Amino acid sequence: MADSVFQMALKQLDEVAKKINLDPNIHNVLRQPERELTVSVPVEMDDGRIEVFTGHRVQYSSVRGPCKGGIRYHQDVTLDEVKALAAWMTWKCAVVNIPYGGAKGGVKCDPFKMSTQEVRRLTRRYTVMIMPIIGGRRDIPAPDVNTGADTMGWIMDTVSMFEGRTVMDIVTGKPIELGGSLGRREATGRGVMISTIQLLNKLGKNPKDTTVIVQGFGNVGSVAAELLSQNGCKIVAVSDVTGGFYNSNGLDIPDMLKYVETSENHLLEGYKKGGTEKISNEELLFSDADVLIPAALENQITEKNADKIKAKYIIEGANGPTTPEADKILGHKGSIVVPDVLANSGGVVVSYFEWVQDIQAFFWDVDQVNESLEKIIVKSFDEVWSISQDKKVDMRMAAYMIAVRRVASALKQRGIFP
């Protein structure tokens, strides 16, 4: 049987522990989430029947600060997946050195088969069920797969109703009018773009001579595609769950963005433009380009397909898109992978800015947000790159070495209670 996603996350941690001679006691602590909560979420559906959904919230580590992590609504959500994502959030916050621990939440449901009212009732009930463990100084949720600013607004309102006051710092990724931050929606995709440009700079390559494939045209993939094309890169292929599109001369990204604004479920299905051919998601992964950005779901690049990937540089927009076995195959081929914990950390960095703005009730303009984001990602990229060069390890190992050391050091300094 294939390893579970959480086993994959632990495997990565165990490899790093060996590399940095991690104290076995600390390693032991870091292999377990601090807290796992599974809740049942009964929801009255529009037709009057009651459906019971299962929700989870996992707090992996709070040694460096309040836990932080998104909430996803997806039919494949499992506790195992949520634990893995919470672990990755712990390392991600540590890589970019923001004062957070890692958490993640999810509800097993298919939001595309539900009305807005049903999703809202689900969100409010799930919020109440996890309320005992979340809070602006404890655990701050954010959007993830199939959740967005409106979902965060409902969570914030639900907690505010219970507390009898407006609680802005309970979630990030909220609508601007409810204490959200400018630049937050584009932040993850912008971080992917900055990471890509940084890598090209290190390798002495010109963005104008660079071809890019983007798998996933949701919030992350579409923004990364848009910003990279503005930086001169040629986006030759993109895809979403309905399939992909390829054009060796470069796709018209602004046109595609305009199309998904009004299309059903904001998907690419039905998009047409001369010179653009339809391809499958699999063909997309194997297309010819310099850079591949997997920005869909986890486990997309595996030992079964890694050797067919032609792109030399892989910038992980999604969480966990590459399995450890695939990593080894890509390494042997000489590919460079910029890992998720660095490449897609823009979202959590700007979530941190949003939280700071909420606490201070003092809001920044978008230039300040984007400049501060760029500063943090460039600095973190440089740190990871230099360790990867010095220690002759790949960038994922370098990022994990930095992250695990930071978390381990905080744990050591705090000691074990009591």
311-365 tens-digit pLDDT: 999 999 998 899 888 999 999 999 999 999 999 999 999 999 999 999 999 999 9
Which helix (DSSP H) or strand (DSSP E) does residue 284 occupy? helix 281-285
CATH class belonging to 187-343: alpha beta
Residue 224: other Cβ atoms inside 10 A: 34
Active-site annotation, residues: 104
> Predicted confidence band at 390 (pLDDT cuts at 50, 70, 90)?
very high
Average pLDDT value for residue range 295-324: 92
For residue 320, the model assigns a pLDDT of: 85
User: Both tokens of residue 185?
Assistant: 């929606």
Q: Which amino acid is at 171?
A: V
Question: In the sheet that 234-240 helps form, which strands lie side by side, from edge to edge?
Answer: 277-279, 243-246, 234-240, 211-215, 291-294, 313-315, 336-338
* Strand partners for 55: 39, 107
Question: What separation in angstroms does the CA of 89 have from each of 33, 79, 102, 121, 364?
Answer: 12, 15, 5, 27, 25
Residue 42: other Cβ atoms inside 10 A: 12
Q: What share of the chain is helix, strand, coil (3-state, %, to 5)?
A: 50, 20, 35
Residues 6+ apart with CB under 8 A from 238: 213, 214, 215, 217, 221, 222, 225, 244, 245, 251, 253, 256, 268, 284
- For 95-126, letters b (16+ CB in 10 Å) and e give bbbbebbbbbbbbbbebeebeeebbbbbbbbb
- For 43-57, letters b (16+ CB in 10 Å) and e give beeeeeeeeebbbbb
Dist CA 84 CA 81 (whole Å): 5
For residue 150, the model assigns a pLDDT of: 97
| Full-model pTM | 0.93
Task: Tell me the average pLDDT of the chain.
Answer: 95
Picking from 109-113, 186-190, 259-263, 354-358, which range would have the lowest pLDDT averaged per residue? Answer: 259-263
Q: For residue 173, is it left (φ>0), alpha (ψ between -120 and 50) or beta? A: left
CB 386 within 8 A of CB 70: no
33-170: CATH number:
3.40.50.10860
Dist CA 294 CA 319 (whole Å): 9
Dist CA 281 CA 112 (whole Å): 20
46-65 tens-digit pLDDT: 999 999 999 999 999 999 99
* Strand partners for 322: 301
- CATH topology match: 33-170 vs 187-343: yes
Phi, psi of 35 (to 5 degrees): -155, 135
181-201 tens-digit pLDDT: 999 999 999 999 999 999 999
Residue 202: other Cβ atoms inside 10 A: 13
For residue 270, the model assigns a pLDDT of: 87
For residue 1, the model assigns a pLDDT of: 45
For residue 237, the model assigns a pLDDT of: 95
pLDDT at 2 over 90: no
196-245 tens-digit pLDDT: 999 999 999 999 999 999 999 988 999 999 999 999 999 999 999 888 99
For residue 311, the model assigns a pLDDT of: 95
Every domain of the chain and the residues it spans: 33-170, 187-343
For residue 290, the model assigns a pLDDT of: 97
